[in-house]
Amino acid sequence: NVISFGLFLSPVPTFVKIWKQKAVEQFSPIPYLATLLNCMLWVFYGLPIVHPNSILVVTINSTGLILEGIYLTIFFLYSPCKLRIKVLMYLAAEIAFMAAVVAVVLTTAHTHDLRSLIVGILCVIFGTCMYASPLAVMKLVIQTRSVKYMPFTLSLAGFLNGVCWTTYALIRFDIFITIPNGLGALFGLIQLVLYAIYFRATPQDQPAGEVELPSKTLEV
């Protein structure tokens, strides 16, 4: 949970920059909206009515839910009108989707096993999409031979988070936690290897993590 908390805190420098400049510039809300939905699904999955004895899953994803809400609030405050409308539309769609998932699962699935299966599959899908988003970053690192697009702390936190949750899932024999976090650990390891390869080639006047990818590369 501590490592996962660190992963959720990794966007803080980005939002400090947005707050200081009072503008979102070219930053995209998509990664934070995607993480918000992912956290909502995992919180629902960890509830006693779906998958009992999953307090660690609920606590860390509830924390993530709060942090992503704060990030999106800051993003909304400093966005132009058109982008605000876009964010609101995405939020409305996510809330409607979650409401539908909750309603369908609780009314049609009457056992913990079936509820865990349905929600778990959704968590795997959206969790995998969230972890797969760095693939675009890795491609760009190779193309530009620069790690300025890939912060080391985020890569390390993603790797450690994936390893810890995969280990936890293997102990619990929970395939739905194992798959996305196993992939997250793999992607994180690849990022660390790329960082080691291309760190020295990165211009020193362009610190890692200051430039964000175009929004289209981050959509999930």
Residue 142 identity? I
Give the DSSP H or E segment for 92: helix 81-108
- CA dist 184 and 127 (Å) reads 9
pLDDT mean for each 10 residues of the chain (220 residues): 77 86 81 88 94 89 94 94 93 96 95 93 86 74 79 80 87 85 89 88 57 37
Cβ atoms of residues 169 and 200 within 8 Å: no
The per-residue pLDDT for 181 is 87
Residue 110 identity? H
- CA dist 187 and 185 (Å) reads 6
What domain count does the chain have? 1
The per-residue pLDDT for 220 is 30
Helix residue ranges per DSSP H, 2-46: 2-9, 12-21, 30-46
Residue count of the chain, please give it: 220
The per-residue pLDDT for 31 is 78
Look up the domain containing 75 and give its range. Answer: 2-217
- The rounded Cα 53 to chain-centroid distance in angstroms is 23
The per-residue pLDDT for 62 is 95
